[in-house]
Amino acid sequence: MHKNKNVGSVVCLFAYLLFGFFVINQYKSGYNTEELNLYWALVGAYVICGALIVLAKFKHDLYLFEPFTFASLWYLAIFIYRPLQDLYDNNLIGNGVSVVSGGAKATILFTLGYICFYLGYYGKFRLGNSRAYREYDTEDQVSPVTETYSRSNMALIGWGISFVLVLICLISQGASLSYIFSLASSGEKVVDESNVALLFLSNFGITLVSCWMMVLVRPGKRAIKIVITILSVIYLIMRNGRWLLMVFVFAPFVYYYTKRKTRPNLLLILGGGFALLTVFAWMQYNRANIAFGRQMVGFGDNWLTLKVLLSPFDSDFSTYKVFYNMVTRFPSAYPYMFGTTFLYTIVLFVPRVLWPGKPDNPVRDMIEHSMNNLARRSGSAVANIGEFYANFGIVGVLVFMFIFGKIISKLKALYEEPTEERLIAYSVLYPLLFQWVARGNFSGNFYVTIFAMLPFIVEWFVHRMGRRRV
């Protein structure tokens, strides 16, 4: 992994300077006072945050597939790249609200928060025991259970159960089997937005991906792997969840490179990124068709335009707008939420089928108070730094960004001290950081992570029970 370290450091520095030209080029003489303040705040944010990434590369040999890299790329895209672009294009409007007035303050808060994130990630502060995970794949620990059902077969059974559950969820939303398996080319979907009783079964979508990864990388028949891969892709397309497909696509690459401790070449990154954006763009292009039961179509005359390719992430990159307006309304118009969005984790655990009157997620109140009711109804989101601020203000940003950095730094142990289980788990958790960074919804992200790790928890439990029997 440390081969050509100096070359990688120089490339990182070059990229930092090269993007600096984009930052400079976003200046316009026609900016008013608020826009000019925002521009210089964004310049300062790029200089400081970008320099920290370069420092991490030179001092810590920053690895492409480590948590800090992935999280940082999303932070810079959301809070520096996209605001600069929208500022230049005079597009600082979100849900009919101008957000420029809070831009400079929000950007300064982001910069301070990112510094704390960096310190949390690289600082020498102890937080639990990163060596708590124990490997159990040794001959003297093999139990009768694992002799009868190998871990590959257990993962396959887990995949089958998960697939049935998510299929039931799609059917409960009005989709027929022919509609699902024909990729919307036949059959029908009866749209009933009020039917949410079995929506909690969609959580098993990420469980399905984890089980698929277990089957994919472990010994087993190739035909079975091909079949479950095809069926998984069908579900992911019909689910139309970009973040879920991102985990599905990224996980094998993360596993492959972290296992070998190597870095992909630039052409592979560019080619893979282009292919992934194309698939995401096609899904985005057909988002409404899937939602309303219509047949999916191609790109038409918009094929391969940059706007179309980047359209899937438009809403994710634009979450900074909610944060910009949030800092002008909390606490002047609305009091801080003091952890209510975090505490909702307890409420969210109960399926709505068992609690029809379950209260709505306070994250939606947070969004409405930051913007308006239109933002709430349209499903607008804010990055995790926004949730930290809405709950505890500036102190929340500094403290929780530090904690977030410290927690994800512990993920490095999964590939630095590798076992098969650790590497598979890491390959799923790495792309899942997208949800934790771009979508400030602690309760939702918490359960997404739990369901992602559910197969590993079950394996551990079965193993422990097997050992006791021995």
pLDDT of the chain along its 470 residues, tens only?
Answer: 444 567 778 888 998 999 999 999 999 998 999 999 999 999 999 999 999 999 999 999 899 899 999 999 999 999 999 999 999 999 999 999 999 999 999 999 999 999 999 999 998 766 555 444 444 443 334 344 444 347 788 899 999 999 999 999 988 888 888 888 887 777 777 766 666 667 788 899 999 999 999 999 988 889 999 999 999 989 988 887 778 988 998 999 999 999 988 877 767 666 666 666 666 666 666 555 555 555 555 555 555 555 566 666 667 788 999 999 999 999 999 999 999 999 999 998 887 777 878 888 999 999 999 999 999 988 889 999 999 999 999 999 999 999 999 999 999 989 888 888 899 999 999 999 999 999 889 999 999 999 999 999 988 887 776 655 55
Give the pLDDT score at 282: 61
Give the pLDDT score at 172: 86
State the Cα torsion 394-400-401-405 to the nearest 10°: 160
Q: Terminal CA-to-CA distance of the chain, rounded, Å?
A: 40
Alpha carbon of 444 to those of 71, 200, 221, 301: distances in Å?
18, 11, 35, 37
Give the pLDDT score at 145: 40
For tokens 């997208």, the residue is 434
Contacts of residue 42, Cβ cutoff 8 Å, sequence gap at least 6 = 23, 26, 80, 83, 84, 87, 107
Q: Which of 26, 3, 109, 123 is nearest to 398 (CA)?
A: 109
How do 93-94 and 97-98 pair as beta strands? antiparallel
Q: What is the DSSP letter of 137?
A: -
For the chain, give every domain's residue range. 148-307
Give the pLDDT score at 277: 66
Q: Are 347 and 413 in contact (CB under 8 A)?
A: no
Give the pLDDT score at 133: 43
Give the pLDDT score at 146: 44
- In DSSP terms, 189 is beta-bridged to 175
Contacts of residue 298, Cβ cutoff 8 Å, sequence gap at least 6 = 282, 285
Give the pLDDT score at 71: 96
| Distance between CA atoms of residues 61 and 30, nearest Å | 41
Give the pLDDT score at 131: 46
| Distance between CA atoms of residues 392 and 338, nearest Å | 6
| Distance between CA atoms of residues 213 and 251, nearest Å | 7
Q: How many CB atoms lie within 10 A of CB 273?
A: 11
The SS3 assignment for 429 reads helix
Give the pLDDT score at 196: 64
Amino acid in the structure at residue 377: R
Task: Tell me the whole-structure pTM to 2 decimals.
Answer: 0.86
